[in-house]
Chains A and B, each alone.
Chain A
Amino acid sequence: DAKTTQPPSMDCAEGRAANLPCNHSTISGNEYVYWYRQIHSQGPQYIIHGLKNNETNEMASLIITEDRKSSTLILPHATLRDTAVYYCIVRVAGYGGSQGNLIFGKGTKLSVKP
């Protein structure tokens, strides 16, 4: 079972920041938070991951609370092409195979509206 809890759906206006929350209250010390998204009919797309520090890349920013029990993915200027299902996943980093298995929950369906 997924170890994360996400709202089932969110709306965001185009050009505004989209803030997607995730709860992972049982996260272990060696587990990272990963975010993926899946645009309709496409393969999941890796967005970002982090351990405890905030992370930023060209796609998004990841804010992890100090107690690591929750995080927020921020898309700074959402576009219509960001409409997708966003998955928050907790897993141990540094392992492939079954130890590194991604367990996808139901995710958050983000709808970006004009």
Chain B
Amino acid sequence: DAGITQSPRHKVTETGTPVTLRCHQTENHRYMYWYRQDPGHGLRLIHYSYGVKDTDKGEVSDGYSVSRSKTEDFLLTLESATSSQTSVYFCAISVDPTYEQYFGPGTRLTVT
């Protein structure tokens, strides 16, 4: 357990509405990540952060934005949710010096 929490754990929203998912860590790790997991695709990296206000895109970043104003919080925003963004979203941190990643419990998002 690397002190990672995600909120909300479950959310149902309508197409076109904005949604923000929060990842919170308690141990001041520099790197934080957002993944999504879908049947047949495994886990795919959306965005990651390497410090406060420092973020970069991953493999499937279209339709998502992120922000990190504090070390402990990494927010994932869907500006206008679509049904294709129905998924399970996992946050992760990586630990110095070998950067193995530890994952949060996940957020199940359903866009109707």
Residues of A within 8 A of B (CB): 32, 34, 41-46, 49, 93-98, 100-102, 104-106
The closest CB in chain A to the CB of B97 belongs to A94
Binds A, one of B13-21, B62-70, B76-84, B102-110: B102-110
In the complex, B75 has a CB within 8 A of chain A: no
Residues of B within 8 A of A (CB): 30-31, 42-43, 45, 48, 50, 56, 58-59, 90, 92, 94, 97-106
Q: Which residues of B contact A96 (CB under 8 A)?
A: 30-31, 48, 50, 94, 99
The closest CB in chain B to the CB of A105 belongs to B42
**A99, chain B: closest CB distance, angstroms:** 9
CA distance A101 to B48 in the complex (A): 9
Q: Which residues of A contact B99 (CB under 8 A)?
A: 93-96, 100
Q: Which residues of A contact B30 (CB under 8 A)?
A: 96
Q: Which residues of B contact A106 (CB under 8 A)?
A: 42
**B111, chain A: closest CB distance, angstroms:** 19
Known: A98-B48, A98-B56. A93 touches B103 (CB 8 A): no
Q: Which residues of A contact B101 (CB under 8 A)?
A: 44, 46, 100, 102
The closest CB in chain B to the CB of A95 belongs to B99
CA distance A100 to B56 in the complex (A): 13
Report whether B102 and A46 are in contact in the complex, using a CB–CB cutoff of 8 Å: yes
Report whether B103 and A97 are in contact in the complex, using a CB–CB cutoff of 8 Å: no
Q: Which residues of B contact A97 (CB under 8 A)?
A: 31, 48, 50, 56
CA distance A101 to B92 in the complex (A): 11
Which residue among A32, A34, A94, A102 has the maximum number of chain B CB atoms within 10 Å of its CB?
A102
